[in-house]
Amino acid sequence: MTLVPGDLQAIGRIALFHGLTPQTIAQLVAPARTLLLRPRDILARQGDPADAFFIVVSGWLKLYRNNSAGEEAVLEMMKEGSTFAEASAFSGGTYLATAEAVADARVARVPAEHVVRCARDNPEVAQRMVSSISQHMHYLCDQVERLKAQSGLQRVAEFLASCAPADQGRCTLALPYDKMLIARQLGLMPESLSRAFARLRTVGVTVNAAQVTIEDIGRLRRIADEDRASARGAVRQ
Amino acid sequence: MTLVPGDLQAIGRIALFHGLTPQTIAQLVAPARTLLLRPRDILARQGDPADAFFIVVSGWLKLYRNNSAGEEAVLEMMKEGSTFAEASAFSGGTYLATAEAVADARVARVPAEHVVRCARDNPEVAQRMVSSISQHMHYLCDQVERLKAQSGLQRVAEFLASCAPADQGRCTLALPYDKMLIARQLGLMPESLSRAFARLRTVGVTVNAAQVTIEDIGRLRRIADEDRASARGAVRQ
DNA sequence: CGACCGGATTGATCCGGGTCAAGGCCAGAT
DNA sequence: ATCTGGCCTTGACCCGGATCAATCCGGTCG
């Protein structure tokens, strides 16, 4: 299915392409097709040749890998504006993870060789692609750091803080997808996530189904940033 | 200090540049300077503007981040042939981690703007740079997967297997750097690494100071690849 | 409407690994 | 040769999170 004008608009809004002329963007996505995905549809499979680069227009997808024992490790969640596989498409490699829809989603698919050509013709485009890759690396580094240096409780606190629209103060929000996914994304079992939510009640966080209210976002951030021992102390009544 | 012929030779041998003509390589590293580092010297600091890209000619460096609580999380160890900061240098960003020598090291430093110019002039070079970035992403994805899906013991088993020259059979090897670093790289405390080595004795792994002998590398690999429960079972006498 | 099913919570228990402390070992300094 | 300090190992203990199981809840489908 070809892109509708709304898709093009959505793509123009994403940070990756900010500052590019509308013509450049139009040219870049000219041969793109929109894919409509339903939950459990697979967009790309880890290990397959990366013959395209993807831009999420709407919906949610999870990026995950399954190890040889069969359990899946969720690497990242993608929503509107997220991009996937730019590095692999560029370098002629394979997809580093499987991308699977977890809600109805619209995704623009740009053939790899077209992206490579555009980047070759227009250094500005090449620049943006590498910036985008760089952001992904940044995200992955953050994730490794968090897994090595934070407790599960702290990762949950950080996740909630990252969902909040502001940097401090009070807020209420809705969890973006189900708790099982949140748990797997944070490297926890669903039961452990439940208990983490329960412990966070002592610092003014209440979770009711998908509804979350946070009394003080700053406090949550501080818990995430402290060392494990202090964080433990902070949630004791 | 300018590059010596040996440096150029070493750089030509690394995978990133395989297949490029000697002239192209020479041009790429023409303005490079060699830095001589001693243990604890810092090559680049997380957050500083990425004004150069680095190629390790010899020695060992650790890439790490320190969180706000002050503890450091080791992301990666670099040795001869490793490259660092290509994505950041390319996109005009900042270094994503601190690079610090842990043994005497020689590192070639290529100014960022020169790399960008070379890539612009020569699509082949751009291609290689992105491939290199892609490999780094691959490594980071692997790491996230391991931290989320494997137990400490399994990560140790995988590390040892990755040090082994062969895929199966018996071998002896020397640990590449001290155990404290190995532990931090695997997201463990040094004590836990010691205990992991001790538990692996039951599957034919003996560690004596830096000397390791592995009876059956395949068995080690299998332990790393199983699920946590089976791996636990495998090391019970 | 009731049956059903998958997600979410809660409890009981177990194990991995972190923490704290003591001691061994080796290398370099005095 | 002795001292000293850093790395490593070992032991005792505790805590976080996994596991197993029961229950609950909300939505869907007959």
The per-residue pLDDT for range B202-237, each reduced to its tens digit, is 999 999 999 999 999 999 999 999 999 899 889 875
Q: What are the structure tokens assigned to B119, written together?
A: 């890539």
Looking at residue B237, what is its pLDDT? Answer: 55
Question: Is the pLDDT assigned to residue A89 strictly greater than 70?
Answer: yes
pTM of the model: 0.96
- Give residue-wise pLDDT tens across range B169-186: 999 999 999 999 999 999
CA of B99 to C1' of C17 (A): 28
Output the pLDDT for position A5. Answer: 84
pLDDT for A214:
97
Q: Is 90 exceeded by the pLDDT of residue B18?
A: no
pLDDT band for position A67 (cuts 50, 70, 90): confident
**A67 by DSSP, 3-state: which?**
coil
Residue pair A55/A107 in contact (Cβ under 8 Å)? The answer is: yes
Highest mean pLDDT among A115-124, A185-194, B64-73: A185-194
Strand order in the sheet with A205-208: A171-174, A211-214, A205-208
Q: Does B70 touch chain A (CB under 8 A)?
A: yes
B183 to chain A, closest Cα gap in Å:
11
- Both tokens of residue B122? 């020569």
B84 by Cβ neighbours in 10 Å (0-12 / 13-18 / 19+) ranks as buried
Cβ contacts from A onto B, under 8 A: 125
Q: What is the pLDDT of residue A9?
A: 87
Q: How far apart are CA B212 and CA A214, in angstroms?
A: 51
Please work out, in degrees rounded to the nearest 5, the angle formed at the alpha carbon of residue A143 by the alpha carbons of A129 and B179: 120
* Contact residues, chain B, for A130 at CB < 8 Å: 87, 90-91, 130, 133
A178 touches strand C (CB under 7 A): yes
CA of B112 to C1' of D24 (A): 59
Per-residue flag: B193 CB under 7 A of strand D: yes
Q: Does residue B95 sit at the A interface (CB-CB below 8 Å)?
A: no
Identify the residue among A121, A125, A145 best suited for mutation to test binding to B, counting B beta carbons within 10 A and taking the highest: A145
Question: B189 beta carbon < 7 A from strand C?
Answer: yes
Rounded mean pLDDT, B70-80: 95
- Whether A180 and chain B come into contact, CB under 8 Å, resolves to no
Between CA B76 and CA B85 the distance in angstroms is: 13
Quote the tokens at residue A231.
């964080």
Residue A237 pLDDT > 60, yes or no? no
Neighbour tally for B69: CB within 10 Å: 16
In chain B, what residues touch A227 (CB-CB under 8 Å)? 69-71
Q: Which residue of A has its CA nearest to B231?
A: A69
SS3 A160: helix
Q: State residue B1's pLDDT score.
A: 77
Could you count the other beta carbons within 10 Å of the beta carbon of residue B52? 24
DSSP state of A4: P
Interface test with B, best of A84, A98, A130, A184 (most B CBs within 10 A): A130
Instruction: Tell me whether residues A134 and B69 touch, CB distance under 8 A.
Output: no
Residue type, B127: Q
Q: How far apart are CA A104 and CA A41, in angstroms?
A: 9
The nt closest to A150 (CA vs C1′) is D16
Pairing verdict, β A61-66 and A52-58: unpaired
**Which contiguous run of DSSP H or E holds residue A123?**
helix A123-149
Q: What number is the average pLDDT over the span A220-226?
A: 95
* B96 in Cβ contact with B17 (< 8 Å): no
| DSSP characters over chain A | -BPPHHHHHHHHHSGGGTTS-HHHHHHHHTT-EEEEE-TT-EEE-TTSB--EEEEEEES-EEEEEE-TTS-EEEEEEE-TT-EE-HHHHHHT-B-SSEEEESS-EEEEEEEHHHHHHHHHH-HHHHHHHHHHHHHHHHHHHHHHHHHHH--HHHHHHHHHHHHSSSSSS-EEEE-SS-HHHHHHHTT--HHHHHHHHHHHGGGTEEEETTEEEES-HHHHHHHHHS-HHHHHHHT--
Instruction: Locate the chain A residue with the closest alpha carbon to B188.
Output: A148
Could B73 and A143 be called an inter-chain contact, meaning their C-beta atoms sit closer than 8 Å? no
Q: What is the pLDDT of residue A147?
A: 98
B93 contact A CB<8A? yes
Cβ distance A220 to A160 under 8 Å? yes
What is the pLDDT confidence band of residue B17, given thresholds at 50, 70 and 90?
confident
| Predicted pLDDT at A102 | 96
* pLDDT for position B155: 98
Q: Which residues of B touch A141 (CB under 8 A)?
A: 65, 75, 96-97, 140
| Stretch B123-148: mean pLDDT | 96
Using 50, 70 and 90 to split pLDDT, how confident is the model at A235? confident
Residue A106, pLDDT > 80, answer yes
User: Chain B within 8 Å of A119 (Cβ-Cβ)?
Assistant: yes
* A72-85: pLDDT as tens digits: 999 999 999 999 99
Residue of B140, B150, B173, B174 whose CA lies nearest to B223: B150
Which tokens sit at B194?
């010691």
DSSP state at residue B76 = E
Confidence tier at B4 by pLDDT (50, 70, 90):
confident
> What is the average per-residue pLDDT within A26-45?
95
